[in-house]
Amino acid sequence: MSVSTGAVLNVLKTYEDPYFTTQDLVARGAIKHLDIDVNTVKFTVELGYPAATIENQIKADLKALVEGIEGIDHCEITLDWAIVANRTQRDMPSMYRVKNIVAVASGKGGVGKSTTSVNLAIALAQEGARVGLLDADIYGPSQPMMLGIPEETRPEFVDEKHFKPIFEHGIQTMSMGYMVTDKTPMVWRGPMVSGALQQLLTQCMWNDLDYLIVDMPPGTGDIQLTLAQKVPVTGALIVTTPQDIALLDAKKGIEMFRKVDIPVLGMVENMATHICTNCGHEEHIFGEGGGARIAEEYNADLLGSLPLALEIREGTDEGKPTMVKDPDGKIAAIYRDVARRVAGKLAERGQNDSNSPVQMIVTDA
């Protein structure tokens, strides 16, 4: 019995993608090169987001669906990410060799924004994407220490104008911390800080990035304004903790990005619970459900909640973030899920913007 293409596509429509929820695989054009040869089906799936660590599970789920069709004995699936560049605020031209820029921000300090940034970047890389991490905190750069990069490390300069990113833990990185020592105070006024950010961003020779994660300083000051006005950002991630004061500042961060036409992809709540290492009792010592309430109020998604855990702090202090120190652990699984959700949100936006031409700014040639 000959099986029709329509029968296969109808089955594939029923697959529920947890990271791309607005359209099924067929509706968004993710099924490519579908071939039916007697009782064998072959096709490629372009997910739109990286998913290397769950690739086998996705293939198994799709294979089970297709091989459940009467007359089909075998199914061969190729999985591809096919990550696209997204529209930026006010349709600003995208950066050369950088598809998507994601700002990780918070309204206040001390909520774990830098820790989230570094683990998010490494998680995306582990999922199969090409990732960069820009430390945009000019006054207090922390990423070199979190990545375990020796203090004396300096970027390689090219043609006296550009410099190469420092490669560590599978990601390309750049920070003011590579230019100065940890004892050098940056006593600069706003315009100088804004200029330094632009130099770090545009004079770094990023090498074909799918995602550039920008670890923002806290607040809504000069750096944030420069980012909104002069950097082609495709989305923002807000980091908060459950305390009321942190949530109040998180609201300000969301409002700031909305005013400058940068979509908020979602929120990450740190220190959501504490689990006693002695008895295992779980307690919401900083409040409960705050991140979820703010997300609901602003029609945004709570992409993940992380516990208050000693191992997270120890890892970054040692230069081995959670995604490196314990990549198979429970906390790493949460970061990885957040990474796929962020990438999935961008994939959904890319699908909506797929008919819009993408312009480029050449900055390293």
Residues 101 and 184 in one domain: yes
Q: What is the pLDDT of residue 30?
A: 96
More confident residue, 246 or 178: 178
Q: What is the pLDDT of residue 55?
A: 97
pLDDT at 314 over 60: yes
Over residues 72-110, the pLDDT tens digits come to 999 999 999 999 988 888 888 888 899 999 999 987 788
Instruction: Judge whether 225 and 269 are in contact, CB under 8 Å.
Output: no
Last residue of one domain, picked from the residues 32, 50, 80: 80
Q: What is the pLDDT of residue 89?
A: 86
- Is 107 annotated in a binding site? The answer is yes
- Cα separation, 315 vs 306, whole angstroms: 15
Look-up of token digits 């007359």: 71
- Is 111 annotated in a binding site? The answer is yes
Q: How many residues are recorded in the chain?
A: 365
Q: What is the pLDDT of residue 226?
A: 86
Q: What is the pLDDT of residue 183?
A: 67
Last residue of one domain, picked from the residues 29, 54, 80: 80
Residues 74 and 102 in one domain: no
- Is 329 annotated in a binding site? The answer is no
* CATH number of the domain enclosing 60: 3.30.300.130
- Cα separation, 10 vs 107, whole angstroms: 46
Q: What is the pLDDT of residue 294?
A: 80
More confident residue, 34 or 358: 34
- Is 268 annotated in a binding site? The answer is no
Per the structure, how many domains does the chain have? 2
Residues 156 and 284 in one domain: yes
Over residues 28-70, the pLDDT tens digits come to 999 999 999 989 999 999 999 999 999 999 999 999 999 999 9
* CATH number of the domain enclosing 208: 3.40.50.300
Q: What is the pLDDT of residue 185?
A: 64
Range of the domain at 100: 89-361
- Cα separation, 66 vs 278, whole angstroms: 48
**pLDDT confidence of 140, banded at 50, 70, 90?**
confident
Closest CA relative to residue 128, chosen from 229, 242, 249, 47: 47
- Cα separation, 170 vs 122, whole angstroms: 7
Residues 170 and 75 in one domain: no
Residues 62 and 95 in one domain: no
Residues 59 and 121 in one domain: no
Q: What is the pLDDT of residue 283?
A: 79
Residues 109 and 23 in one domain: no
- Is 304 annotated in a binding site? The answer is no
Q: What is the pLDDT of residue 186?
A: 64
User: How would you classify the pairing of strands 209-215 and 235-240?
Assistant: unpaired
Last residue of one domain, picked from the residues 57, 80, 103: 80
Query: To the nearest whole percent, how much of the chain has pLDDT over 90?
Result: 61
- Is 114 annotated in a binding site? The answer is yes
**pLDDT confidence of 365, banded at 50, 70, 90?**
very low
Mean predicted lDDT score pLDDT of the chain: 88
Mean pLDDT across the stretch 277-302? 79
Residues 154 and 298 in one domain: yes
